[in-house]
Amino acid sequence: MQRTLDISIAAKSLWGIAITKGNLAYFCYFYPGRINIGFQTTAEALRAAEESGDIMSKGYVYSSHGIFCYARGLFEEAERHLLKGIEFCERINEKGWRAIAHLFLGETYFAMGNFPSAKDRYEKGCGLLEHTRLMPSFVGLVRAGVARSRVMNNERDVDLESLYTHSRNNKIKTGEGWFSKYIGEILLKIDDQHLPEAEHWIQKAIEADQRNGMRFFLGKDYVLYAELFKQKGDHLNRSSFLDNRITS
């Protein structure tokens, strides 16, 4: 990607610079948790896309920058940029980045506590992935996102066996811990009878994200694990666990 960026810069191709920086940020900076440099890179890409006037680059880059706004907790900015990314992608019938934008718009709405809107966006992303047959492993992940939103909206009729099957069939390392965290969170919210299973899946998420270098998601795993201890009323172990993780 850096070589592609160098060529685009040498050619003074604004749309090429924009698209490459957007892809570089998402695929190389987001998952390892390099959020600040990713945010800076997508902001630069956004300026290049706007200057170029190219719709495709705008679709990619507004989506990518929205993801980094979400990662920094700038949820209203994330919503605005992701919606623009979806709009530009729709104008050129681009489905891959549109699906990604719907997924992270779902994440954004979930973080904002707007669970019906989160469910709607996950479903739209899932529909695009199924239609294009892009990233089949992520279809299961997005379906888990739908189930998580439904549970948070007090809908308890979740097909757990289907989610377990999708998790086993996942072939993408970036989705391994992400998927396990979703399932752990669903089990945590269903009822107290599922707490042992929830702990198992959250531990799986932590192990996978440690192994795969997914630092952004690893942080979210720890937050969810602390929530599990809180729900169990195990404040002492929660503090000890987090202290040990920080020192190690």
CA distances from 105 to 93, 112, 233 (A): 18, 10, 33
Q: b/e per residue, 41-54, with b = 16+ CB within 10 A? A: bbebbbebbeebeb
pLDDT at 247: 46
C-alpha–C-alpha distance, residues 8 and 78, integer Å: 27
Instruction: Single out the residue of 29, 95, 94, 19 nearest to residue 67, CA to CA.
Output: 29
C-alpha–C-alpha distance, residues 63 and 147, integer Å: 24
pLDDT digits 0-9 by tens, 46-58: 999 999 999 999 9
pLDDT at 237: 57
DSSP 3-48: HHHHHHHHTT-HHHHHHHHHHHIIIIIITTT-HHHHHHHHHHHHHH
For the entire predicted model, the pTM comes to: 0.90
Please report, to the nearest 10 degrees, the dihedral formed by the alpha carbons of residues 226, 231, 232, 235 taken in order.
50
pLDDT at 193: 86
How many CB atoms neighbour CB 187 within 10 A?
24
CA distances from 54 to 47, 91, 93, 123, 235 (A): 12, 12, 14, 28, 53
How many CB atoms neighbour CB 236 within 10 A?
9
How many CB atoms neighbour CB 57 within 10 A?
27
Domain extents in the chain: 1-127, 135-248
Instruction: Quickly tell me which residue has 């699906």 as its tokens.
Output: 99
Residue 134 pLDDT more than 80? no
The angle formed by the CA atoms of residues 155, 98 and 116, to the nearest 5 degrees, is 20
pLDDT at 238: 52
Is 1-127 a domain of CATH 1.25.40.10?
yes
Choose the CATH number for 135-248 among 1.10.3720.10, 2.60.40.1530, 1.25.40.10, 2.120.10.30.
1.25.40.10
How many CB atoms neighbour CB 75 within 10 A?
17
CA distances from 172 to 79, 102, 135, 175, 177 (A): 26, 19, 9, 5, 10
CA distances from 151 to 156, 182, 214 (A): 6, 11, 26
pLDDT digits 0-9 by tens, 144-154: 999 999 999 98
The angle formed by the CA atoms of residues 217, 221 and 225, to the nearest 5 degrees, is 170
Q: Given pLDDT bands bounded at 50, 70 and 90, which one contains residue 205?
A: very high
Mean pLDDT of 36-47: 97
pLDDT at 248: 46
Mean pLDDT of 19-36: 95
